[in-house]
Structures are given as structure tokens and as C-alpha cells.
Amino acid sequence: MLSRSVSFDQNHLPPGVDPPGRGDPERLGEYRVVGRIGAGGMGAVYAGLTESGQTAAVKVIHSQFAADPDFRARFAREVGLVSRVRATCAPAFLGADTAAATPWMATEYVPGLTLRQHVKGHGPLSGGMLTALAVGLAEALAAIHGAGVVHRDLKPGNVILSPDGPRVLDFGIARAADGTVLTATGGLHGTPGWIAPERYEGAEATGYSDMFAWGGLLAYAATGRDPFGGGTVEGIIHRSRNEEPDLDGVPERLLGLVRRALAKVPGERPRADEALAELTRGWSATRIMPGGAMPPTLVGDQGQGTHPTRIVSELLATEWTAVADPGVRRVRGPRRALWLSAAAAVLVVVLVGGLLYSDRIPWGTGTPGDDGTNTAAEETEEADGPLVRTDPEDAEAVVAEAVDLMYAASDYVYRHEYKVDQEGGDPSPFVKEYTEDPVRALQSKSYGPFGSSVVLQHGDDLEETVNGWIDHPDEGAAPVLQYFAAEDGSGNDEDPRDGLDWGLELILEPGAEIEYQGRSRVPYETEFWDVPTSYGLEFEEAEGHLYSGTYVEVQEEDEEVEPVTVSFDLWLDDEGYPLRLADTGIYERADSEYLGTTFTTIRNYTFNEPRDIHIPEESEILPEHPGVN
């Protein structure tokens, strides 16, 4: 059984599909691009439409991978395997061109919310819906594994709850990334919390690895909680490798199978076809047949009967009852928020003011009408994610909008701290404060072991510059800032926000993986600098929306430096502004004395809170540097 045909065009798109943006292709093979579904580390996915009206989800590979002949060969092999997958709960393969200038692959378009979106918006699954999810995912994995494919990144965001049943998306292409910048530095393709423990030990991904994620998906669907909790990437990885999953609330009929699937040892997990047979056998045994007939006998290790996969369509038709067709909505033009320059973003805020805030609504809380309103959103007391213009699960778009918001802010505090592990020397922190009221001013402080230097720029164009120095005071003594005349050219910030998006922009680069983890406390107490660097600029305890993942940092100016895979945690506030970005990586340069050394960067932000930056009188400014005491 395939999902019903979904009809859309460039003027009527399903929820979650945006009009194409600047730079998106107009055509891919026989498909005219009418919408953008999303993007990830390896490429982007578009809504495509043929001249005959056939719709498809068309996945396009990023150009840096397309330029790699080895990647193309692996991609072609994987497409060949994916084309053999036939399953009720996997999108049908429609075609591909692996030799095109921009390689692509088309599959059936599946409407609906992701599993995470559905659970967050409607609560956990139960009863027959939960059974149908377990069966559908097992059936899809059995077919995928039977074709020689391993998914490698099964997670709530890659499961769609369509009107006809669950669908497993994005399978089979991850292996093509092996040997590319995505994995060359020892990183794993996948999402912490859903990666099987043995993968962290260097083991190859197998069907048993996918079954670990399968067990986690059922636990999440039944309870609404990630089986290994949330928080930092490091914490999630530790729990998934060393602790038992949170299965409180998983119904008894599924508990044993889910617990086995989440076993730390791969061989103790069931295969997908074994799980499917057990689930369909249990469902068939409880059915009441018309006229009192006995349910059909399933094929077992011996004997003949009804194969488990033949039960799936009937089970879904009977049990899958709580998902409606999302339909389409009229669209008025391409989304532009993600392509605003910094200046344009400021202009938008000035012109529309509060409208920008009031238009940001939680995704999935109602069906937008042609007038752009969402009446159901008015009844929502608390948003499920940052109040952004796009789906909070569309992590890449959320981060892009956070950068736009950041560049439009009129006041901010930014603290940046960088540290190499114990053999790498002292940490390197600095703080920037900016305000436009009552006087435009930017104050930057850099902290060292003996004191702190200050550069203060002020004036309409930040053209006035004065320097300062703060001795590190004795314990209990108040710090004293002494100003002195600046040398020409000492104020070197072309824009007061230069550098704030460093790290954030890397998350938006190809090769990054990012996923929404929900709401959590921002761990400000973990800074590693023992001097009171902020001097009154401490960040108040807060909660934020956590996005976690990895990005690849490439030192283009130095070819001897190997690309580094960096793990990050990003917290945003309820309006979508950055609160904290913490990332960790390991030096890979072969000739570096720091080879294998861990580095950590912490960036804390506060936006749109008035700053009191003192502008010194001429009498306060010394003629020269006061020196170091």
C-alpha cells in the first residue's frame, strides 16, 4: 500500500513546505521545483512536480560532495540499493540521476508531521496507534535491511506520521558520506541519543544499530520523553552508552521488545523481521474475526501461513486512525526572512516593530488560513519551540533566523571564552557590550592573566575611540578601569556585530548536523575562567530551547590543518535570540604539538537589554597607558 496521491503546486503547498528561495534550482530532471522541504548536512530536499502532475520529494546533493568522484560512485551504489526497497511504510523510489551536475534522487512525497512534531503537539501515542507505529517502522526496516541498506540516522525527525501510516524517510544515503569531510575526522553520521553504543567504539553500522534507534523511537512515542534524556551532547552520549533507557510508561505488551532493542550489545537485539513477526503475531492473536473464524496463521521458522508483511496493510487500516490529511495552504510568495542582510533585517524591525513578534507562532498548532492567521495558536499558552517564523524542528532555518534577529538588536552583551585542555595554556576570554541609547557605543574587553584591556568606540559612526586598562584587583577589592588615549586605528570594528555569528555561521554550513532537543536550563555555571571577567556582566540563570549537533570547521587559509568535526549545544530564548553556544573539538593537525588536544569555546549572549556604557570625560583620559602593576 502506498500513501494516497498528494496534489500540490507552486501556489498551494502542504504545511512545512516553503516556496523556493533565492539560489534554489528551478528544475531537477523532469521535476519542476515548486517548494523547499528542508536541508541537512549532505544536501537539500525540494518539492518537485512533473508536467503530468506527479509530485515527489527530490533530494539534491551539496556541490562539494558532487565534485568528489568517489562520493558520486558511492552515491550511485546507494541509490541502486534504495531503488530495490519495497515497503508499505517506506516512500516509493521514483527515479534519480547520479551523473547530473547536481546529483539527485526522487521519492514519493509523504505529507504529515514528524514523530517529534506530532508527539509535542498532540501527546504520546497509545493503544492501536502505538502498535501500528511499531509495526510500520519494523516493516520498513525489514525491507530496507533486506535490500542491503542500513539507515544510520533513524530518529523522530526522520519518521513522518502520514494519514495512511508511519513512513521512514532519508534511508540509505548516509553511507555515501563515508570518506568525505563528514566522516574523515572520525565523526559519526547520526544524532546523539539515537546512535547505538557500539558505534562510538568504532563498530560499523548494521541493522542492529537501526534497531537500537527503533526501540528508542517507540519509547519516545509512548512516553513523550527521549529515552536517554536531553541536555548536552556529552551527557546524552554518556547515558546512551552506560545507563539504562527511560522506559517508564511504555505499555507492557511492548516493553520486553523495546528493552531488547535498546540492549547495549548488538547481538542481544532483535532483527527487524523478528520484531515484525512478533508484533503481527501478537496483534493477529487478539483479533475477533467475522463469524468467529480463527485469525490467519503467520509464517514462523517452520510451516506455511500468512507472511507478517501481508498483515501490515490490514493492521494499519484498522489501527491507524488518529492522523488527518494536512492538506495544502495557499502561499503568496517565496520566504525571504532567511536571506535578509544585516541592514535589511534592521530595516524590517524598524518598519514593522511589534508585527515581527506577533507573527511568530508555534508551528503545528492549527491550519493557517489564506489570510496568514492561525486561530488555534491564540489558544496555546506556551510555545513548543522558539517563537520563530518557521517550524522549530527546521533547525537550520531557526539558526538562520537567530542570526538575523541578532544583527537587528539595538543592545547586547557577548562573552566569548576559548580554552585548550590543560596542556594548552590559559583560556582566552573577552566581552563585548553594545548600545544605541542614549549614545551609540561599543565596548570590548580582552582578559589576560595580569589585567584586562578595553577598547571603547562611540559616536554616530563609532568614530571616537579610547582605550582602557583594568588591573586584576586583590581579592575583595573593586576593579578600577583607567582610560588612556588611543592610538590611531585602534578601533577596528567595521560593524559592532562583527564576529558575533562566528560559530553560528558554521552551523549553517554544508556538512553540519543539527536537531532540536527541547527546552532545558542554560548551564552558565560551567565557565572555566576563575577571574571575575564580567565585572558585573554575569549572565542570569535562564532556560532556553536547545539545539545540538556537529559542524565541520575547515581552515581554508592553512591546507596543513585537517578539518575538525565540532560538537555543539546552542540555546535560544523564547523569541529566537541566541543565549549560549558551547562547542568542543579535537585538533587533527599532524605536525601540531596539540594533536589530539581538546578545545572548548563558550559564547554567551544577552540581547535587547539596555546597557549602561560609561563614556569618559576628557579629564578621565590619561595621556598614555597606565602600565601593569
Q: What is the pLDDT of residue 115?
A: 92
For the residues of 183-241, what is the DSSP string, one character each?
Answer: TTTS--SS-TTTS-GGGGGTPPP-HHHHHHHHHHHHHHHHHSS-TT--S-HHHHHHHHH
Q: What is the pLDDT of residue 428?
A: 66
- Single-letter code of the amino acid located at 57: A
Would you say residue 341 has pLDDT above 50? no
Please give, one letter per residue, the 3-state secondary structure of 329-382: EECCCCCCHHHCCHHHHHHHHHHHCHHHHHCCCCCCCCCCCCCCCCHHHHHCCC
Q: Quick check: pTM over 0.75? A: no
Q: What is the pLDDT of residue 344?
A: 29
Q: What is the pLDDT of residue 136?
A: 96
Q: What is the pLDDT of residue 233?
A: 73
Would you say residue 353 has pLDDT above 70? no
584 or 268, which is more confident: 268
535 or 163, which is more confident: 163
Q: What is the pLDDT of residue 106?
A: 93
421 or 340, which is more confident: 421
For 169-187, what is the mean pLDDT?
52
Q: What is the pLDDT of residue 107?
A: 93
- Single-letter code of the amino acid located at 284: S
502 or 317, which is more confident: 317
Q: What is the pLDDT of residue 89?
A: 94
Place 31 in a pLDDT band, splitting at 50, 70 and 90: very high
Q: What is the pLDDT of residue 126?
A: 95
77 or 499, which is more confident: 77
For 550-572, what is the mean pLDDT?
72
Would you say residue 176 has pLDDT above 70? no
Q: What is the pLDDT of residue 331?
A: 67
Q: What is the pLDDT of residue 32?
A: 94
Q: What is the pLDDT of residue 335?
A: 35
